Structure 1
Amino acid sequence: MRTSVTLLGFILRIAVAVATMLKAVILIGGPQKGTRFRPLSFEVPKPLFPVAGVPMIQHHIEACAQVPGMQEILLIGFYQPDEPLTRFLEAAQQEFNLPIRYLQEFVPLGTGGGLYHFRDQILAGGPEAFFVLNADVCSDFPLSAMLDAYRHQPHPFLLLGTTANRTQSLNYGCIVENPQTHEVLHYVEKPSTFVSDVINCGIYLFSPEALKPLRDVFQRNQQDGQLEDSSGLWPGAGTIRLEQDVFSALAGQGQIYVHLTDGIWSQIKSAGSALYASRLYLGQYQLTHPERLAKHAPGGPRIRGNVYIHPTAKVAPSAVLGPNVSIGEGVTVGEGVRLRESIVLHGAMLQEHTCVLHTIVGWGSTVGRWARVEGTPNDPNPNDPRAHMDSESLFKDGKLLPAITILGCRVRIPAEVLILNSIVLPHKELSRSFTNQIIL
């Protein structure tokens, strides 16, 4: 009898585990995207760019790994599975003790095409539901709260939403919801006039049934595919845009719901927004990863606010760092350096008494002593009407708009010069000061 009870308990535990099995899909795009992230994306795939000390998509993976019942994380994109990506996946699997696999699209398939193309891989094992996360967003990822909302009211599509002001909402997908039931009644991607102050965060929870509307779009594309569109470029039946082809079409039909969050969120479309995201994540580390934040210690550099310093970095005790600074592997920071609101990448060197503000210093770059490298703060906050959005042009009236300064890979800045609001492409050795320039 005791053996029968034990066996029954084991079977019940297996049944519960199967019933609550979850997966996550991270959409990482491909090299044809992320052009606004240049010149930094020349050196590393955008999803692996370090934000607050770790690769951008590690924040996504950490959040997914903390959800009970998470069985597998899939990355879908059009990048070649090169050495940096392969090395990252191997390290992430070991760190989080989860299967993490990359599924490469044969051609770019849009935000929904990869989900449909790899549907068998996503549904293998019979998951209860699966998260879908865009790689180019920064968030505190309230995935458990989304799961609770989904289980309370199961529907094929659950979107994470946040609020924006009327002006900035035009830069995002806008959601009109029923405030009582949270059903999405209307969805418009980047409208030309104000629609709603609720915007799409690019973080979703889908039931297995959500793939049926994607199948319908695929079949419709197949039927229409022999007729070229007005541009003469047919994208192919496999290309599915979640926002326009699915959300806009199904809004108001009782299939799409929104879960609102007041947590941190921003897009990461450009280097400027990566700097802003780094600030948000460093602030979040106070709660989630306090061990990643540098502490002021006797004989060490002066730390102001939230600062990340890689263990291999060498920082002089007279340096002043912060707030919102991230220092990468093998970086050297000399005596008297002032560093604020900046990211310094692997192997860079800041010589004595340099001042670096609102800047990304590229891999292996050198800033000479007493030089000043400075940009203009760029905060793509959807609730700040003065924010400079990523969708805006770099130029106005033929002039480069003020923005953060970016030094590409292995740039050399001479001593005692000023580099202000400029973008320096990789492998440049400058000989003088520059202001509001793109240095090719």
Structure 2
Amino acid sequence: MKALILVGGFGTRLRPLTLSVPKPLVEFANKPMILHQIEALKAIGVTEVVLAINYQPEVMLNFLKEFEARLGITITCSQEIEPLGTAGPIALARDKLIDGSGDPFFVLNSDVISEYRLKEMIEFHKTHGGEASIMVTKVDEPSKYGVVVMDESTGQVERFVEKPKLFVGNKINAGIYLLNPSVLDHIELRPTSIEKKVFPKIADQKKLYAMVLPGFWMDIGQPKDYISGLRLYLESLKKKASPKLASGSNIIGNVLVDESAKIGEGCLIGPDVAIGPCCVVESGVRLSRCTLMRGVRIKNHACISSCIIGWHSTVGQWARIENMSILGEDVHVGDEIYSNGGVVLPHKEIKSSILKPRIVL
């Protein structure tokens, strides 16, 4: 079985992190985003993953070589010369996806994090006998999204309604698809949206079905949703009684700490914190709703809340970093500095406080 992951473009919504690495390689819960998906695909029998990419393919492939060997799965690239939307890359990768077996293949958006109920999706696809299956997820405010209107008993998709003003349903496209090879006959090799052009046609032919995704789902392609997604992911780990979660008198709620990280005395950590490899958290530090990437050092009595701290950055003593502040790679914040929503580009030294949300160039 094969899968295509839509890696997409430049990751502008996650800058300044994506100024250092392509978005799919940005760590989420101490693991590159895309690795969460590749591991889920491997677990249900996928043998080859194709990355549809138009930006830095050599960086992606070089990084993933070790995981290819470790997981025992083939990872290749299909490179776009020009952006092809969400459908064009599937047509471009046609020869990589079709092997004559007639088996369906998965297509995933690279910045979606969920419980990946892929095995159940395969069974659902076999049962309905249609041409394509899409995963949908329930949301509280459907007026902000494109809503999938479906038959609740069979899952057959009736139509799509973009940002409805009147309530027509509360299920939206979750960015996980299982497609028969025949779907490729509906897709031209040009910039095309699978959501707006291809799926409505298949729905008109009554061959498109939707499965409601159990468990959590989040598009983590921008900082606010990244932080929300981390909370949902860690809560899911807790329900599975995962030994990966940290415990102790200094831990509040769900916290993930890499085994190589060092935590000082008198710290209070959590809830919803991920501390990456080789991080050093000195004494008296307070961390909540945040991610520390590899090699970060947080000095004595600093306070970090609702933030992402990029690779090899340093936060000084008694500093306070909060309100969706994002530090790029190798940023060094001085002692007693305050950042209120500061977005700091890589390789900067911050010597004065950032009192209002702004980008520091």
Secondary structure in 2 matching 1:53: coil
Across the aligned residues of Structure 1 and Structure 2, the Cα RMSD in angstroms comes to 1.9
Aligned residue for 1:248?
200
Which of 217, 220, 238 pairs up with 1:268?
220
The residue identity in structure 2 corresponding to 1:163 is K
2:336 aligned with 1:426, yes or no?
no
The residue identity in structure 2 corresponding to 1:417 is I
Aligned residue for 1:139?
114
Residue 193 of structure 1 deviates from its aligned partner by 5.8
The residue identity in structure 2 corresponding to 1:203 is I
Contact residue 89 and residue 101 of structure 1 kept, 8 A: no
2:178 aligned with 1:205, yes or no?
yes
**Correspondence list, 1:292-303, <5 A:** 292-296=244-248, 302-303=250-251
Deviates more, 1:243-252 or 1:52-61: 243-252
Q: Whole-Å Cα distance in 2 between the matches of residues 46 and 52 of structure 1?
A: 14
Q: Whole-Å Cα distance in 1 between the matches of residues 53 and 240 of structure 2?
A: 28
| Cα deviation 1:343-391 (Å, max 9, x = unaligned) | 011222100011111111112221110111111xxxxxxxxxxxxxxxx
Contact residue 189 and residue 244 of structure 1 kept, 8 A: no
Contact residue 230 and residue 272 of structure 2 kept, 8 A: yes
Residue 47 of structure 1 deviates from its aligned partner by 0.7
| Cα deviation 1:331-353 (Å, max 9, x = unaligned) | 11111111111001122210001
Secondary structure in 1 matching 2:47: strand
| Cα deviation 1:236-270 (Å, max 9, x = unaligned) | x5212101111223323211111112310011221
Q: Whole-Å Cα distance in 2 between the matches of residues 142 and 426 of structure 1?
A: 37
Secondary structure in 2 matching 1:75: strand
**Correspondence list, 1:399-438, <5 A:** 404-438=324-358
Contact residue 109 and residue 240 of structure 1 kept, 8 A: yes
2:287 aligned with 1:339, yes or no?
yes
**Correspondence list, 1:189-200, <5 A:** 189-191=162-164, 194-200=167-173
Secondary structure in 2 matching 1:209: helix
| Cα deviation 1:180-231 (Å, max 9, x = unaligned) | 32211111344566543111101111111111111xxx2xxxxxxxxxxxxx
Residue 431 of structure 1 deviates from its aligned partner by 2.2
Aligned residue for 2:143?
170
Secondary structure in 1 matching 2:137: strand
Secondary structure in 2 matching 1:64: helix
Q: Whole-Å Cα distance in 2 between the matches of residues 194 and 427 of structure 1?
A: 48
Aligned residue for 2:86?
111
Contact residue 17 and residue 310 of structure 2 kept, 8 A: yes
Identity, in percent, stands at 37
Q: Whole-Å Cα distance in 1 between the matches of residues 273 and 208 of structure 2?
A: 39
Which of 121, 132, 142 pairs up with 1:157?
132
Which of 65, 70, 73 pairs up with 2:49?
73
Secondary structure in 1 matching 2:49: strand
Contact residue 117 and residue 214 of structure 2 kept, 8 A: no
Aligned residue for 2:275?
327
Aligned residue for 2:71?
96
Contact residue 173 and residue 243 of structure 1 kept, 8 A: no
Residue 113 of structure 1 deviates from its aligned partner by 0.6
Residue 116 of structure 1 deviates from its aligned partner by 0.8
Q: Whole-Å Cα distance in 2 between the matches of residues 248 and 326 of structure 1?
A: 40
Q: Whole-Å Cα distance in 2 between the matches of residues 294 and 88 of structure 1?
A: 28
Contact residue 78 and residue 92 of structure 2 kept, 8 A: no
Aligned residue for 1:307?
255
Q: Whole-Å Cα distance in 1 between the matches of residues 241 and 283 of structure 2?
A: 28
Q: Whole-Å Cα distance in 2 between the matches of residues 49 and 411 of structure 1?
A: 16
Unaligned segments of structure 1, at least 5 residues: 1-21, 219-236, 376-403
2:28 aligned with 1:54, yes or no?
no
Q: Whole-Å Cα distance in 2 between the matches of residues 307 and 88 of structure 1?
A: 26
Residue 289 of structure 1 deviates from its aligned partner by 8.1
For normalisation by structure 2, the TM-score amounts to 0.94
Contact residue 80 and residue 104 of structure 1 kept, 8 A: no
Secondary structure in 2 matching 1:50: coil
Residue 411 of structure 1 deviates from its aligned partner by 1.8
Secondary structure in 2 matching 1:188: strand
Residue 41 of structure 1 deviates from its aligned partner by 0.8
Q: Whole-Å Cα distance in 1 between the matches of residues 282 and 268 of structure 2?
A: 10
Contact residue 92 and residue 100 of structure 1 kept, 8 A: no
| Cα deviation 1:125-147 (Å, max 9, x = unaligned) | 52511111101111101111111
Contact residue 112 and residue 242 of structure 1 kept, 8 A: yes
For normalisation by structure 1, the TM-score amounts to 0.78
Residue 60 of structure 1 deviates from its aligned partner by 0.8
Contact residue 189 and residue 243 of structure 1 kept, 8 A: no
Deviates more, 1:360-369 or 1:93-102: 93-102
2:1 aligned with 1:26, yes or no?
no
- Name the CA shift for 1:99/1:282 in 2 (closer, same or farther; >3 Å): same
User: Which structure has the larger Rg?
Assistant: 1
